[in-house]
Amino acid sequence: MLIIFMVATNVLLWTFLRNAEYNRAVMERTEEEAQRSSEKIAVSHVNYSVQGGYVRVELKVANEGPVPVQITTLWVLDRVTQKHGYNDMVNINLRAGQTLNFTGSSALLVPIEGLEYGFSSEFSAWFVTARGNLIPLEDRFTGTKVIIQPSGGYPKVVIGALMLDFDTFRHFTYASDAQLANYPTGTLGFNIPKQTYLAFGCYLTNVDTMNRTMIIDSHSLLWQPGRPGVPEGAAFVVNVNADGTINGAYSQITLKHGETKMFVFASVNDLGLAAFKRYGTPNVVTTVATNLLIHGTLGSSPYAQNIPFVSIFLS
Amino acid sequence: MMVETMPNAHVLRKISKTIFNRRAVSNTISATILTGAVIALSLAVFSWSQSRSSDYNREYSETVEAETARLKEKLVFEYVSYGNPSDDLAVYLFNCGTINDLKIKSVYISNTTWLRAFSTPTLHFLNGAQIPDQDLDIGEEGYFTLLLSSSLSSGYYNIQVVTERGATFGSNFMA
């Protein structure tokens, strides 16, 4: 009887001890879940920009909950390219009721590979807290549209599905009737010699928000509208070989999403309809406008766009 | 006749005495033997009970410890990336629980009509380096990549991660 009593007591006490340990773990877990549920972070004034290969996120973050919150990681997703990046060194500690501003030099930087070309995009971002909450910086299904600016020089401008790089607008002279003299370097700038056979070059980037590939056909040109005293001019797109030779026939240029290529406009005639003939600048000293008239396809859809481009001064 | 019967009575008495004396010695021994037997039996029973209760206690402790450890596990899906590059599924995880050595045993990807299982995916730190001990400690972030042999059809998918301790964590992603 005594033995039964001793053994039973032993088992009972051991069981109680273990049950107590498990109950304590359950209580701790419940408390953690309660604290996790009570985290309340408000994020406002979110602004994205791009610096080099970094997305720069400016924001204001406030802890509106009753418990202190530690933010460990910031994730940024480019919703267009689906490229993502993170910064797991943010380590933001917010006391209950505290508000912090991350603007100017305090902005949070998140590296994302593949941003160096520059393009328009749509970003989403979210914080991860130490308790495991994910805090979106904007509504889950809407991102923030951003036109990415380069870190220096002239701004790049996005119009439609194309981004134009003013900084790299150039012109080329001719070594012979169908060969450019200083290709591909050319002469950068907007001061152009008058009454001269020239070709123009500029960089275009496909920034279509639906990730479609653009095909630019021979009907695309750089158009210089005329006005009283200034004749109009047109330089259609051409293919140029590495040695500067202009092909007599035009083959369509494919521009994938995010891809940047230099386009050269040199022919008075549309090479899909007629033979190559050099474009020459008018014999006037004045400033003229130029437009880019782009024609082709975007994905499986027809694409055509008239884009006001640069002004050039003829002298 | 009377004289003849007297010695017989004496002999009987002697025999009786002898028997009586023998009975006294036998009681002591039997009591000792009985006590010894009882003690031995008690020890055997106690030992057996102790052994059985120890086994029970050990099994119960192991069960409780396993349950407690599983309870302390908490895994958060920071991000699930599909199609970057093509047919790869990258799953970014964060151990926000209160126990170290969180190992991943299985991963299940499914939708309403399709299921695919993967076992013990290779864990990497966020910077791409492989995690040496292949587990996530408290506060540690990491990811694994699943190479899908064919593209997923468009739609929502469910992902379930099962840890070595038996805890299950799930999330969704859109292909």
pLDDT digits (tens, 9 = 90+) for A39-63: 989 888 888 887 777 888 888 999 9
- CB contact (8 A) between residue A82 and residue B81: yes
Q: Does residue A242 belong to the interface with chain B, where contact is any CB pair within 8 Å?
A: no
Which residue has better confidence, A7 or B61? B61
**CA A147/CA A125 separation, integer angstroms:** 16
pLDDT at A101: 93
How many other C-beta atoms are found inside a 10 Å radius of the C-beta of residue A137? 22
CB A169 within 8 A of CB A235: no
Phi, psi of A57 (to 5 degrees): -110, 115
pLDDT at A15: 87
Which residue has better confidence, B90 or B148? B90
pLDDT at A180: 93
Give contacts of B57 with chain A, Cβ < 8 Å: 10-11, 14-15
Would you place residue A119 in the very low, low, confident or very high pLDDT band (cuts 50, 70, 90)? low
- CB contact (8 A) between residue A14 and residue B60: yes
Would you place residue A150 in the very low, low, confident or very high pLDDT band (cuts 50, 70, 90)? very low
pLDDT at A148: 45
Average pLDDT, chain A: 85
Residue A138 clears pLDDT 80, i.e. is over it: no
CB B148 within 8 A of CB B156: no
Going by the DSSP 8-state scheme, the letter that residue A277 receives in this structure is -
DSSP state string for B17-52: HHHHHHHHHHHHHHHHHHHHHHHHHHHHHHHHHHHH
Which residue has better confidence, B17 or B107? B107
Half-sphere exposure of B15 (CA within 13 A, CB side): 6
Between A208-212, A303-307, B23-27, the lowest mean confidence (pLDDT) is in B23-27
Stated pTM of the model: 0.60
pLDDT at A287: 92
Average pLDDT, chain B: 86
Phi, psi of A190 (to 5 degrees): -120, 5
Q: Would the ipTM clear 0.85, i.e. be above it?
A: no
pLDDT digits over A269-306, tens only? Answer: 999 999 999 999 999 999 999 999 999 999 889 999 88
pLDDT digits over B31-70, tens only? Answer: 899 999 989 988 888 888 888 888 888 898 899 999 999 9
- Name the CATH superfamily for A42-147: Immunoglobulins (2.60.40.10)
Q: Does residue B140 belong to the interface with chain A, where contact is any CB pair within 8 Å?
A: no
| Annotated domain spans of chain A | 42-147, 156-314
CB A245 within 8 A of CB A164: no
Between A140-144, A282-286, B107-111, the lowest mean confidence (pLDDT) is in A140-144
Between A139-143, A302-306, B106-110, the lowest mean confidence (pLDDT) is in A139-143
Residue in the block written with tokens 């590059």:
B85
Which residue has better confidence, A315 or B174? A315
pLDDT digits over B112-165, tens only? Answer: 888 989 999 999 998 889 999 999 999 999 999 998 877 788 788 899 999 999
Give contacts of B46 with chain A, Cβ < 8 Å: 3, 6-7
pLDDT at A82: 79
Residue A118 clears pLDDT 60, i.e. is over it: no
CB B82 within 8 A of CB B135: no
Q: Does residue A12 belong to the interface with chain B, where contact is any CB pair within 8 Å?
A: no
The shortest CB-CB distance from A22 to any of B56, B67, B84 is to B67
- CB contact (8 A) between residue A25 and residue B71: yes
Among all residues of chain B, which has the CA nearest to that of A14?
B57
The shortest CB-CB distance from B46 to any of A3, A72, A128 is to A3
**CA B88/CA B149 separation, integer angstroms:** 9
Q: Please, what CATH class does the domain formed by A156-314 belong to?
A: mainly beta
Q: Does residue A34 belong to the interface with chain B, where contact is any CB pair within 8 Å?
A: no
Which residue has better confidence, A189 or A141? A189
